Amino acid sequence: MSTINGRVSHWFDKMPSLRPRLPGDRDADVCIVGAGYTGLWTAYYLKKADPSLRITVLEARFAGFGASGRNGGWLSGLVPGDRNRMAKTYGRDKVLAWQRALNQSVDEVIAVAESEGIDAGAVKGGNLEIARNPAQAARLAASVAEERRWCNDVTELTKEQAAQRINIDGLVSAYHSRDCARIQPAALAAGLAEAVERLGVTIHEQSAVVEIQPGRAVTRTGTVRAPIVLRATEGFTPALPGLRRRWLPMNSSMIATDPIPARIWDEIGWQGRETIGDTAHGFFYAQRTVDDRIAIGGRSVPYRFGSRTDRDGQVPARTIRLLTEVLHSILPQVRDIPIAHGWCGVLAVPRDWEAGVALDRTTGLGWAGGYVGHGVTATNLAGRTLADLVLARNTPITELPWVGHQSRNWEPEPMRWLGVRGLYIAYKLADRHEANGRRTTSPIARVADVITRKP
- Residues 6 or more apart from 436 whose CB is under 8 A from it? none
Q: For the domain that residue 332 is a member of, what is the CATH number? A: 3.30.9.10
- In-domain check, residue 3: no
Contact assessment for residue 357 and residue 256, using Cβ atoms and an 8 Å cutoff? no
Amino acid at the residue 208: A
Owning domain of residue 450: 412-455
Mind listing the pLDDT tens digit of every residue in the chain (455 residues)? Answer: 589 999 999 999 888 999 999 999 999 999 999 999 999 999 999 999 999 999 999 999 999 999 999 999 999 999 999 999 999 999 999 999 999 999 999 999 999 999 999 999 999 999 999 999 999 999 999 999 999 999 999 999 999 999 999 999 999 999 999 999 999 999 999 999 999 999 999 999 999 999 999 999 999 999 999 999 999 999 999 999 999 999 999 999 999 999 999 999 999 999 999 999 999 998 999 999 999 999 999 987 789 999 999 999 999 999 999 999 999 999 999 999 999 999 999 999 999 999 999 999 999 999 999 999 999 999 999 999 999 999 999 999 999 999 999 999 999 999 999 988 888 888 888 888 888 878 888 888 787 777 766 44
Q: Is the overall model pTM greater than 0.95, yes or no?
A: yes
DSSP for residue 269 = B
Tell me the per-residue pLDDT of 172-226, one tens digit each, with 9 for 90 and over: 999 999 999 999 999 999 999 999 999 999 999 999 999 999 999 999 999 999 9
Instruction: Give the type of residue at 235.
Output: G
Residues 171 and 282 in one domain: yes
- Looking at residue 1, its pLDDT comes to 56
Is 2 part of any domain? Answer: no
Same domain for 72 and 98?
A: yes
Element (H, E) at 212: strand 209-213
Q: Quick count: other Cβ atoms within 10 Å of Cβ 144?
A: 18
What are the beta bridge partners of residue 5? 342
In a domain, 406, yes or no: no
On whether the CB atoms of residues 54 and 28 are closer than 8 A, the answer is yes
What is the rounded CA–CA span in Å between residue 259 and residue 294? 8
Residues sharing a CB contact under 8 Å with residue 114, sequence separation 6 or more, in sequence order:
none
**Cβ-based neighbours of 4, under 8 Å, separated by 6 or more:** 10, 340, 341, 342
State whether residue 319 is helix, strand or coil: helix
Same domain, 357 and 393: yes
Helix/strand/coil percentages in the chain, nearest 5: 35, 20, 40
Same domain, 296 and 379: no
Give the type of residue at 369: G
C-alpha 407/C-alpha 405 separation (Å) is 7
* Residue 334 maps to a domain: yes
Give Dmax (Cα) for the chain: 63
Q: Is the peptide bond between 302 and the residue preceding it cis, with omega within 30 degrees of 0? A: no
- 3-state secondary structure (DSSP) of residue 173: strand
CATH number of the domain within which 210 lies: 3.50.50.60
For 117, 240, 433, the CA distances from 134, given in Å and listed in that order, are 45, 45, 12
Strands 55-58 and 202-204: parallel
**Tally of structural domains, the chain:** 3
Distance CA 381, CA 375 (A): 10
Contact at 8 Å (CB) between 354 and 44? no
The letter for the amino acid at 196 is V
Can you give 378-407 as a three-state secondary structure string? HHHHHHHHHHHHHCCCCCHHHHCCCECCCC
Residue 6 lies in a domain: no
Q: Identify whether residues 264 and 391 lie together within a single domain.
A: no
Look up residue 21 and give its DSSP letter.
P
Indicate whether 147 and 253 sit together in one domain. yes
Does 28 share its domain with 74?
yes
Question: CB burial class (10 A; 0-12, 13-18, 19+) of residue 439?
Answer: exposed
Domain match, 179 and 263 both: yes
Q: Is residue 110 part of a domain?
A: no
* One domain, residues 216 and 330: no
Q: Are 74 and 17 contained in the same domain?
A: yes
β-pair type (55-58, 30-33):
parallel
- Strand, coil or helix: 196: helix
